[in-house]
Amino acid sequence: GENVEQHPSTLSVQEGDSAVIKCTYSDSASNYFPWYKQELGKRPQLIIDIRSNVGEKKDQRIAVTLNKTAKHFSLHITETQPEDSAVYFCAAMGRGSGGSNYKLTFGKGTLLTVNP
Amino acid sequence: KAGVTQTPRYLIKTRGQQVTLSCSPISGHRSVSWYQQTPGQGLQFLFEYFSETQRNKGNFPGRFSGRQFSNSRSEMNVSTLELGDSALYLCASSRDSSGNTIYFGEGSWLTVV
């Protein structure tokens, strides 16, 4: 099955700096790669996603890049702010036991701390 | 538009008991999936339902089961609870096909004592 590795597990940056979180996946059939932000005690919230037919997507201070050949994708946050502090999860939608792509496999998460 | 609704939000059960959690997807969403979140294991896929049929299942023991009703609402059940089942159980919904955005509910916090 799909395996998603996420690095780093913790990341501390100064306000205004950029933050980069990287993920790799194993199933070449995976076709959808969302990123979720989870604040303490709250649900994961989708912040950006990318599909396998696109190499890069940007939404204001957040961007995601996908390299299908190398099977890795990254989250880039520019001009970080204290409210960006949270746990970030990458995920890949790959083949489940039923053979179709409906199973989302998550990375272990990155705790991002933005210091004022 | 209402989001994914999960009930109950918090519950405490005793080892050996069973529990049923409920999830109402976003209106128009026909796919419902369940995830278990624990500090040690992160977010793990339990199962996914579409049109009352389980399409995919994760690597959990048979004590974990689920179902989906004709209105797309879903329930999951855990029988013979163990201490290790203490976790946040998240339900997520999406439209129908692969690659559709998945939205999470607030989750049900289960504590087994």
> What is the spatial distance between Cα A114 and Cα A85, in angstroms, rounded to a whole number?
5
Per-residue pLDDT of chain B (113 residues; tens, 9 = 90+): 679 999 999 999 999 999 999 999 999 999 999 999 998 778 999 999 998 999 888 899 999 999 999 999 999 999 999 999 999 999 999 987 566 788 999 999 999 99
Whether the predicted pLDDT of A94 surpasses 70: yes
Helix (H, G, I), strand (E, B) or coil at B85: helix
> What is the spatial distance between Cα B54 and Cα B103, in angstroms, rounded to a whole number?
19
Mutate to test the interface with B, among A43, A48, A90 (most CBs of B within 10 A): A43
Q: What is the DSSP letter of B14?
A: -
Number of A to B CB contacts under 8 A, please give it: 68
pLDDT per residue over A43-78, tens digit each? 999 999 998 888 999 999 999 999 999 999 999 999
Residue B82 in contact with residue B112, Cβ under 8 Å? yes
Flag whether residue B31 sits within 8 Å of chain A, measured between CB atoms.
yes
> What is the spatial distance between Cα B42 and Cα A1, in angstroms, rounded to a whole number?
17
How far away is chain B from the Cα of A2, in angstroms, using its nearest Cα?
A: 11
Residues of B in contact with A103 (CB under 8 A): 33, 45, 48, 56, 58
How far away is chain B from the Cα of A12, in angstroms, using its nearest Cα?
A: 20
Whether the predicted pLDDT of A31 surpasses 90: no
Counting Cβ atoms within 10 Å, is residue B84 exposed (0-12), middle (13-18) or buried (19+)? exposed
Beta-carbon contacts of B61 under 8 Å, excluding residues fewer than 6 positions away, are none
Q: CB–CB of A96 and B33 under 8 A?
A: no
Flag whether residue B14 sits within 8 Å of chain A, measured between CB atoms.
no
Flag whether residue B56 sits within 8 Å of chain A, measured between CB atoms.
yes
Instruction: Measure Cα distances from B63 to A106, B35, B67 in Å.
Output: 23, 15, 13
Helix H or strand E segment including A54? none
Residues of B in contact with A51 (CB under 8 A): 99
**What number of residues does chain A have?**
116
The tokens for B28 are 């128009």
Mutate to test the interface with B, among A42, A102, A106, A108 (most CBs of B within 10 A): A102
> What is the spatial distance between Cα B42 and Cα B45, in angstroms, rounded to a whole number?
10
